[in-house]
Amino acid sequence: MGTLEGLNREQQEAVCHFEGPLLILAGAGSGKTRVLTNRIAWLIEAQNINPWNIMAITFTNKAAGEMRERVDRMVGFGADSVWVSTFHSTCVRILRRYIDRLGYGTNFTIYDGDDQKTLMKDICKRLQIDTKVYRERSLLAAISSAKDELIGPEEYKLKAQGDFTKMKIAQVYEEYQRQLRQNNALDFDDLIVKTVELFQNNGDVLDYYQERFRFIMVDEYQDTNTAQFCLVSTLASKYKNLCVVGDDDQSIYKFRGANIGNILNFEQFFPEAKVIKLEQNYRSTQNILDAANAVIANNRGRKEKSLWTANGAGEKVNFRQFFSAFEEAEYIADDIRKKVQQGICGYQDCAVLYRTNAQSRMFEEKFLLSNIPYKIIGGINFYARKEIKDLLAYLKTVDNARDDLAVRRIINVPKRGIGAATISRVQDYADAHGISFYDGLKAARDISGVGRGAAKTVPFVTFIQTLRSKQEFYSVTELLNEIIEQTGYVKELEAEGTEEARERIENIDELVSKATAYEETAEEPSLSGFLEEVALVADIDSLDGEGSKVVLMTLHSAKGLEFPQVYLAGMEDGLFPSYLCITSDDPTDVEEERRLCYVGITRAMKELTLTAAQTRMIRGQTQYNKMSRFVKEIPQELLQTEKKGRFGAGSFGSVSAGNGTADSGSGSLGAPASSGVQQMEAKKRAYQQAREAFRSQVFQPKQFQVKMAEGLDYKEGDTVSHVKFGVGVVQKIVEGGRDYEVTVDFERAGVKKMFASFAKLKKL
């Protein structure tokens, strides 16, 4: 039969499962979408199931569209009766018919993100909520998380008893829902929640859809939240013909509300369920799969499976460790260029994957300077990000206040209450007198019609003038840090507490690192020089819009994609897995990071390269990082290793993935000596000197470029603040030979040891 042609035994078994619950554990690259569409065709052709009675649900419009096309091609006549859509689209169709049962009009409005923010602003004003303490974004995020778990305002309020912050959120949540109902509107979370509520309270409606959808299939099941699980399990409770397809090892959206328990506990919810594992991979080589299997095997919260392929062993996994992140980016750029020149691959065959968006900056700059075409997926150019453009606009204003665009961009960043009418009148005055907008602001008190608005411009002008007076004796990094601190830019983002805000903070840290790196390499560093360098590397509009390009993206964005050549960068503890996960009390946080690593590894088809840096600049300070625990989990026989550092490629020989120690393996001393004991001895001495120099810097970081702080204005027991770690209490101060070593117990980040000159702690 056509629906079974070309399928392996397990795929055929999954396609031909008729009635009853079915869990298909589909490993990476195992052809799950093909199984789903073939199963739909088999139900119609072999079992004479009416297409009207089949529903397939997925997450994105793109995935639904692709499945729709495949079903149409396979089924032909009657295919349009199969309900193929996303969760949200499914719920909208149901609610348009029956939401009047819940007291809403069927012509309800769906609020997008901007609508939600506008509504939340109004609510905060009405309830006199201090948005500096309770950010609109964080309030919306808390409400969304509650809805994911089907927790309404009343239940949230009951659970919040005794917690002042949660009680405040409960108050906002209650008013938010009241306003939505009054406006006959739903947000995206409500689409799921209200459909579940409709089914729970209206037996006849539920019965209608249970009869309509006798066979239900759900793709990417590992990404479902509690509300989505409740929706599909309720629909399937009558006939129990629920087929879910997913991979618990690729569950990486916990921060969006995904509940991995839905797939791990499927057999508990449906005891009669049949489980089929799809373990044959059609994408990668066996060495790549063995590496992925070895890493993910360290997770406890998973269902046992092991990927295999008929594609052959392939190349070993490359692992390269460098002294700095700059050398890491340089190596990847050079390696891609060589492979393209040798005809091994095209630029479009290569992907650089990383944990955080901020890591793209180094690769963007290196690729641009190396004339390597690239594109960023799931993100935007580093220098085009809002937070980066805002801070650069401040620096441009300090350097050249005649830049009207820069001044206008930041005049209300942060909010200063300078209204559009004031800005317009100042601009008209500046145009009439042939002066800059900034000079117009300085003369605001003399401008007719500005009135009380002039008083709001004074703090802004004073701030800029203060920064300009410091420009002569402040470094670029110090100016940037001053702007960040005085504007409260990072503090506002920290108050939001969202994943997006955390990424924006990481981007700001990377900009500070860029400023510090510029000052270390420029012959005569200056603010003008820094802005000029940034402008040159930020201008990527000249890149050809057509043709092949290297892809840059985060690991989260890479899910579902595949590339012949994959570079997984930043394989260091503290970066990947992230510092927050390592220090978390919840062991499942590291398991989520390990699943993300598994996703990254399994994107590679032919070659996989893992890279790490022993030193990486974070917020302008050099940090020393251990090799990622995920690299150590890969058996050494699968790795082709070579440590590279500031003393030249290959100078440290091969590195054990298990302990990171260097040895004198083949190639470790450069090109082999042509002859003579003297040459060999010279090579050994050079190697030993390089190794000792390396050890003195990597394994003794406390002696690296430390300058003694000139006295301290705080003592043990004092409360202090740190620009990144927040508020903490000084536990211990030790006066060393080069600087004071200060131990601080921070409220959020825990106990930290740091040098006083670097920490720049402020007594509160």
Of 133, 139, 141, give the one whose Cα is nearest residue 121: 139
**Element (DSSP H or E) covering residue 258:** none
Q: Which of 13, 33, 305, 487 is catalytic?
A: 33
Q: Contact, 212 vs 53, CB < 8 A?
A: yes
33 is catalytic: yes
Q: Which of 220, 327, 328, 739 is catalytic?
A: 220
39 is catalytic: no
Length of the chain: 764
Which runs of consecutive H residues, i.e. helices, occur in 113-202? 113-126, 136-148, 153-159, 164-182, 188-201
Q: Contact, 111 vs 119, CB < 8 A?
A: yes
Q: Which of 3, 12, 250, 286 is catalytic?
A: 250
CA 26 to CA 298: how far, in whole Å?
Answer: 19
CA 94 to CA 167: how far, in whole Å?
Answer: 33
For residue 714, give the 3-state DSSP assignment.
coil
Q: Which of 32, 320, 442, 629 is catalytic?
A: 32
DSSP-assigned beta bridge partners for residue 85: 57
Of 377, 387, 617, give the one whose Cα is nearest residue 500: 387
Question: Which residues, in sequence order, are CB contacts of 651 under 8 Å at separation 6+?
Answer: 644, 645, 668, 669, 670, 687, 690
% helix, strand, coil for the chain, step of 5: 50, 15, 35
603 is catalytic: yes
219 is catalytic: yes
Residue 646 zone, left/alpha/beta (φ > 0; ψ -120 to 50; rest) = alpha
Matching residue, tokens 């392929």: 309
Q: Which of 277, 302, 320, 603 is catalytic?
A: 603
DSSP-assigned beta bridge partners for residue 568: 353, 610
Q: Which of 219, 249, 327, 591 is catalytic?
A: 219
Q: Contact, 416 vs 422, CB < 8 A?
A: no
Of 274, 292, 290, give the one whose Cα is nearest residue 25: 274
Of 182, 28, 134, 8, give the one whose Cα is nearest residue 601: 28
CA 578 to CA 554: how far, in whole Å?
Answer: 14
- Catalytic residue numbers read 32-33, 219-220, 250, 603
